[in-house]
Amino acid sequence: MGQFASLFIVPKDKAINKVTNPGKPNWITAHAIAAELSIAEVERLWIRFQQLGCNRDGDLTEDAMKKSDYNGDIFMRNILRKYIPSDGSKKITFETYLRALKWCEQATLDDKIKAIFFMINNGQPINPDLLVKILERVYPQDKKESLQRIAEIFFQIMDPKGKGQIDEAGFKTGVRRLPQQTLETMLGFDILPNEMKERLHKNLQEFRSESAIANDQPSQHNARMTPARGKQPPPDMALREVSEKIWKKDWVRVANKLGFFAQDVEEIQKAYPNNPQHQVYQMLKQWRERDGSEAQAVVLEQALLDCGMTDAAIVMTSY
């Protein structure tokens, strides 16, 4: 994950810990703003970060990492090593931790597969011996003969030309042969469980629908004069806003929720190559045109919530 670490690590002169610390009341809110996460997400991750052994300054030092239980896991050590900046500080800040986990939640499946490949052998091709060694770490109770057989199957799938090594393209192709739902389950990560996100979405007044608020203070006059929120197809501006928020995420999941099949998505991608944001926008436009009056804002809002894209779902609360 070395090449991805630059997305997480913030330069010293721009780090949020220059203006706050765990003893200040704005520690959570400042990090929420800096990492573009909700207060609830940052509070949850702050608890987890403390459990990892951070110090009073809110940093996870190299010494603390060496003493922790997870230091015995070679994969965990490798991941954490990538997060340590090269400025000599040898520590992981809470801000870096937030940005890394935000990436784990929002990155596309392809980016996650690529990151896993780079984590295994620093981006270098994987040979059979190395794969067996990795399997021995993952399945220490299994016999070496069984692991060698598993490695052979891996290479049959990911190295069909018999080169004796698996490169990034072969690894991605092999992993992508797994069923989409299986991949999403294996690589999915939510900072907050979906049920907690939905509860947050329902309970915060600015996220609530007018119909829900109306149930608290019923008014027949308002019911007659104000159309139900979200019952109209969203305008182009709304679709563009959603596209901007989800094109870097696994937006194909949203397409599936809206009734698009893999072939439909592939046709859109081929029609607008090298422009994923426009692909998302066109997918949403096609959904609106296809479903007509049934393509309501609340339908898109729920699809986004189901995919854990709460920030994009909030856009729909204005329509």
Per residue in 147-193, pLDDT tens?
A: 999 999 889 888 888 889 999 988 998 888 888 778 888 888 888 77
Residues contacting 58, CB < 8 A, separation 6+: 17, 21, 22, 27, 49, 93, 94
**Residue 61 near residue 90 (C-beta atoms within 8 A):** yes
> Which residues lie below 8 Å from residue 115, measured CB to CB, with a gap of 6+?
1, 4, 107
pLDDT at position 201: 57
| Placement of tokens 């954490």 in the chain | 80
Backbone φ and ψ for 108, nearest 5 degrees, come out as -70, 165
Nearest to 84 by CA among 106, 67, 100: 100
- Please check the confidence at residue 264 and state whether its pLDDT lies above 60: yes
Runs of H (alpha helix) within 53-127:
62-67, 74-83, 94-106, 109-121
Q: Are 117 and 168 in contact (CB under 8 A)?
A: yes
Taking only the tens place, the pLDDT of each residue in 87-116 is 566 788 899 889 888 888 888 888 889 888
Tell me, rounded to whole angstroms, the distance of Cα 239 from its chain centroid: 21
pTM: 0.59
pLDDT digits (tens, 9 = 90+) for 285-315: 999 999 988 899 989 988 998 888 887 888 7
